[in-house]
Amino acid sequence: MNLKQTVGIEAANYVKDGMIVGLGTGSTAYYMIEELGRRVKEEELSIVGVPTSIASRKQALDLGIPVKSIDEVSHVDLTIDGADEISADFQGIKGGGAALLFEKIVATYSKQVIWIVDEAKMVQKLGGFPLPVEVVPYGEEQLFRLFEAKGYQPTFRMINTFEKKITDCGHSIIDLHLDTIEDPFVLAKELDHTVGVVEHGLFLNMADTVIVGKADGPLTIQASKK
Ligand code: 5RP
Query: Domain limits of the chain?
Result: 3-122+204-217, 131-200
To the query of whether residue 103 is one of the catalytic residues in this protein, the response is yes
Catalytic residue from among 103, 148, 163, 190: 103
Ligand 1 atom 6, closest CA: 96
Over the stretch 26-41, which tens digit does the pLDDT of each residue have?
999 999 999 999 999 9
Query: What is the per-residue pLDDT for 224?
Result: 73
DSSP 50: E
Query: What is the per-residue pLDDT for 218?
Result: 97
Ligand 1 atom 8, closest CA: 26
Beta bridge partners of 76: 110
In three-state secondary structure terms, 61 is: helix
The verdict on domain 131-200 having CATH code 3.40.718.10 is no
Ligand 1 atom 5, closest CA: 83
DSSP 70: G
Query: What is the per-residue pLDDT for 214?
Result: 96
Instruction: Please report, for residues 40, 51, 111, 189, 222, the alpha-carbon distance to residue 106 in angstroms, rounded to integers and kept in the order given.
Output: 22, 8, 10, 20, 20
Do the domains spanning 3-122+204-217 and 131-200 agree at the CATH topology level? Answer: no
pLDDT beneath 70: ranges in the chain: 225-226
Buried b (16+ CB within 10 A) or exposed e, 167-206: bbeebbbbbbebeebeebeebbeebeeeebbbbbbbbbeb
CATH number of the structural domain 3-122+204-217: 3.40.50.1360
Distance 131 CA to ligand 1 centre (A): 12
Query: What is the per-residue pLDDT for 1?
Result: 84
Cβ atoms of residues 136 and 198 within 8 Å? yes
Model confidence pTM above 0.95: yes
Q: How far is CA 173 from the centre of its chain?
A: 14
